[in-house]
């Protein structure tokens, strides 16, 4: 097995890194890279989102394909895209020799399963008839389905969150473990439980509108009142119906885009996200899967959605896997981003994560934190783009020249899951809690003003609005033009009514 060519005397690549170099694989880098030092101690460095770990010499796995495959599963984790790329290049006889050398070993059985799962080729081996069943993915390291499928051939519990056509992986990082302990679902319930149903109903109307406008504004679109109402009506169905089905997704796209850009099916042309930087020059940020690959990928995504729900994968993890998976597959010409954000609501609501009949506007937080939202998208596209071979003609038509399906089929969506948890955390504390507190304070202020001067509601609302626009005070000009009939004592008392600490003025 090849040594690290930059420091041959000191380091040797191990695991995935060694296999990538030996077999000249074009792949998205694994989150963890391993090297073994000839002399020296254990060291861990983090660079560009990738952990580089150096192991002492006693960790050297050996020189064979099997040695480095086992090392990879043990120390680098499970990377389906790298394994799929590797299995396209390795000799079947070499891999068969490795499996036959110790067919009941834990890592051998997993790799044997992965080989047949990813290549759809059965090795000329008899099924195992002894040994305990083992989990395919370590549940402590990865989010898995609870209802694993028993595979008699390798005596494996297949607990993958997806299936062959689309199978994202999400690692149980410290960040995700910390968010799990925060119990955001419970915190959301606690926030909502403080307020009367009448106030919640009023807040819901505002939150639906805010989510709709924010989702469009992220894409620099100002929706008409008709499109706004149409999207709100869809959001109101989010907790009742499963939209992650092909007919519903197409219908959803048709409802939220301009009628001229409605798609009757998944797109049949190559899609990409680009930016014009000069005359006839485009900077391409992201290239979507080829149209010929799309139907298979989308069938896989929908099947994975059902598998994750049936397998009790945590709701936020499922929402991240499916919603971000959807936007990376980009199945329509227009509306993909809005559908991606809609699916987050749809999954969280149907899984009972959000309280019944409550909407919290995640898009508003994404809009306020565009760099964080963009980073969650760029984490995949930045690593993908160097691998896509394409040309673009003078009419802006892009053509992809190499096979790319593997990179969309087996995505590590850990970064996106962490980002979604952060967005939800902020949404509960700022958009939901603050809006409910504001409405409660507003009601109290209206009642206090009404007790001071018996005025029409419209006049009270106007007074409060003017005060909020002027740091809690009624300006002399607004008083002269609208409230010259009030005494100084009445104005002072009414201004005091709007001095609530929860208010942002």
Q: Are residues 429 and 457 in the same domain?
A: no
| Helix/strand/coil for 283 | strand
> Does residue 163 lie within any of the structural domains?
no
329/162 Cα distance (integer angstroms):
15
Q: What is the pTM of this model?
A: 0.89
Q: pLDDT at position 5, please?
A: 46
> Does residue 104 lie within any of the structural domains?
no
- pLDDT tens-digit readout, 263-293: 999 999 999 988 754 455 668 999 999 999 9
For residues 305-329, average pLDDT:
97
Domain stops at, among 90, 121, 141: 90
Count structural domains, the chain.
Answer: 3
- pLDDT tens-digit readout, 430-474: 888 888 888 888 888 888 998 998 889 888 889 988 988 888 888
> Does residue 156 lie within any of the structural domains?
no
> Does residue 201 lie within any of the structural domains?
yes
- pLDDT tens-digit readout, 135-164: 999 999 999 999 899 999 999 999 999 999
| Helix/strand/coil for 221 | coil
**Phi, psi at 175, each rounded to 5°:** -60, -45
Copy the structure tokens of residue 334: 């227009």
CB 115 within 8 Å of CB 136: no
Task: Among 13-22, 38-47, 129-138, 278-287, name the one with the lowest average pLDDT.
Answer: 278-287
331/334 Cα distance (integer angstroms):
9
Q: pLDDT at position 43, please?
A: 86
Q: What is the DSSP string of 307-339?
A: HHHHTT--HHHHHHHHHHHHHHH--SSS-HHHH
CATH number at residue 285: 1.10.3290.10
Domain stops at, among 90, 110, 135: 90
Quote the mean pLDDT of the chain: 90
Contacts of 360 (CB under 8 A, 6+ apart): 188, 207, 211, 354, 424, 427, 428, 431, 432
Copy the structure tokens of residue 447: 């009642």
> Does residue 78 lie within any of the structural domains?
yes
- Closest residue by Cα to residue 447 from 497, 499, 386, 387: 497
> Does residue 123 lie within any of the structural domains?
no
Q: Are residues 430 and 459 in the same domain?
A: no
- Closest residue by Cα to residue 380 from 438, 340, 434, 430: 340
Q: Are residues 385 and 430 in the same domain?
A: yes
CB 362 within 8 Å of CB 324: no
Sign of dihedral through CA atoms 495, 499, 500, 503? positive
Domain stops at, among 43, 73, 90: 90
Copy the structure tokens of residue 159: 């607990």
479/495 Cα distance (integer angstroms):
12
For residues 20-39, average pLDDT:
93
Q: Are residues 193 and 277 in the same domain?
A: yes
Q: Are residues 184 and 267 in the same domain?
A: yes
* Nearest-10 crossing angle of helices 414-426, 315-329: 120
Residue 86 buriedness (CB in 10 A; 0-12 / 13-18 / 19+)? buried
Q: Are residues 182 and 261 in the same domain?
A: yes
388 compared with 228, residue with greater pLDDT: 388
- pLDDT tens-digit readout, 96-119: 999 999 888 999 999 999 999 999
Q: Are residues 185 and 53 in the same domain?
A: no
Q: Are residues 487 and 346 in the same domain?
A: no
The dihedral over CA atoms of 238, 239, 245, 250, expressed in degrees to the nearest 10, equals: -20
Per-position b or e across 348-365, b if 16+ CB within 10 A of its CB: bbbbebbbeebbbbbbbb
Copy the structure tokens of residue 458: 């419209």
Copy the structure tokens of residue 483: 């409230």
51: which DSSP letter?
E
Q: Are residues 468 and 379 in the same domain?
A: no
Quickly state the pLDDT bin for 496 (edges 50, 70, 90): confident
Q: What is the DSSP string of 422-459?
A: HHHHHIIIIIIHHHHHHHHHHHHHHHHHHHHS---HHH
Q: Are residues 258 and 340 in the same domain?
A: yes
Q: Are residues 359 and 408 in the same domain?
A: yes
147/159 Cα distance (integer angstroms):
7
> Does residue 55 lie within any of the structural domains?
yes
Residue span of the structural domain in which 195 resides: 174-435
504 compared with 322, residue with greater pLDDT: 322
> Does residue 251 lie within any of the structural domains?
yes
Q: Are residues 178 and 327 in the same domain?
A: yes
442/461 Cα distance (integer angstroms):
9
């Amino acid at each position: 097995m090849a040594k690290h060519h930059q420091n041959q005397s000191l380091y040797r690549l191990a695991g995935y890194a060694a296999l990538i170099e030996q077999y000249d694989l074009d792949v998205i880098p694994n989150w963890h890279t391993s090297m073994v030092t000839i002399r020296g101690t254990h060291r861990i460095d983090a660079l560009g989102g990738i952990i580089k770990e150096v192991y002492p010499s006693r960790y050297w796995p050996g020189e064979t394909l099997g040695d480095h495959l086992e090392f990879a599963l043990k120390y680098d984790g499970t990377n389906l895209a790298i394994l799929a790329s590797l299995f396209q290049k390795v000799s079947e006889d070499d891999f068969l020799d490795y499996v036959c050398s110790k067919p009941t070993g834990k890592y051998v059985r997993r790799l044997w399963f992965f080989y047949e799962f990813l290549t759809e080729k059965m090795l000329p081996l008899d099924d195992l008839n002894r040994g305990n069943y083992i989990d395919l993915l370590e549940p402590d390291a990865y989010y898995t389905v609870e209802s694993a499928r028993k595979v008699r051939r390798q005596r494996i519990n297949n607990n993958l969150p997806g299936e062959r056509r689309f199978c994202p992986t999400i690692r149980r990082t410290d960040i995700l473990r910390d968010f799990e302990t925060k119990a955001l679902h419970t915190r959301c319930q606690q926030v909502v439980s403080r307020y009367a149903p009448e106030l919640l109903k009023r807040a819901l109307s505002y939150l639906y509108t805010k989510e709709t406008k924010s989702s469009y504004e992220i894409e620099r679109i100002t929706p008409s009142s008709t499109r706004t109402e149409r999207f709100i009506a869809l959001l109101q169905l989010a907790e009742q119906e499963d939209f992650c089905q092909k007919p519903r997704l197409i219908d959803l796209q048709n409802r939220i885009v301009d009628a001229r850009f409605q798609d009757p099916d998944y797109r049949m042309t190559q899609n990409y996200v680009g930016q014009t930087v000069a005359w006839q020059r485009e900077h391409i940020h992201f290239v979507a899967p080829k149209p010929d690959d799309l139907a298979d990928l989308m069938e896989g995504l929908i099947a994975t959605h059902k598998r994750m729900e049936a397998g009790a994968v945590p709701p936020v993890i499922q929402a991240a896997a499916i919603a971000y998976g959807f936007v990376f597959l980009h199945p329509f010409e227009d509306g993909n981003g809005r559908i991606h954000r809609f699916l987050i609501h749809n999954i969280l609501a149907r899984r009972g994560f959000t309280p019944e009949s409550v909407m919290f506007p995640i898009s508003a937080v994404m809009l306020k934190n565009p760099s964080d939202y963009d980073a969650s998208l760029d984490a995949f596209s930045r690593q993908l783009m160097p691998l896509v071979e394409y040309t673009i003609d003078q009419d802006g038509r892009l053509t992809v020249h190499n096979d790319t399906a593997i990179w969309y089929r087996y995505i590590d969506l850990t970064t996106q899951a962490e980002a979604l948890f952060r967005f939800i955390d902020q949404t509960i504390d700022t958009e939901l809690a603050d809006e409910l507190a504001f409405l409660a304070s507003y009601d109290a202020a209206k009642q206090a003003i009404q007790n001071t001067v018996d005025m029409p509601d419209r006049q009270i609302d106007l007074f409060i609005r003017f005060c909020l626009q002027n740091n809690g005070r009624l300006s002399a000009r607004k008083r002269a033009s609208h409230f010259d009939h009030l005494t100084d004592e009445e104005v002072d008392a009414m201004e005091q009514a709007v001095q609530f600490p929860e208010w942002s003025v």
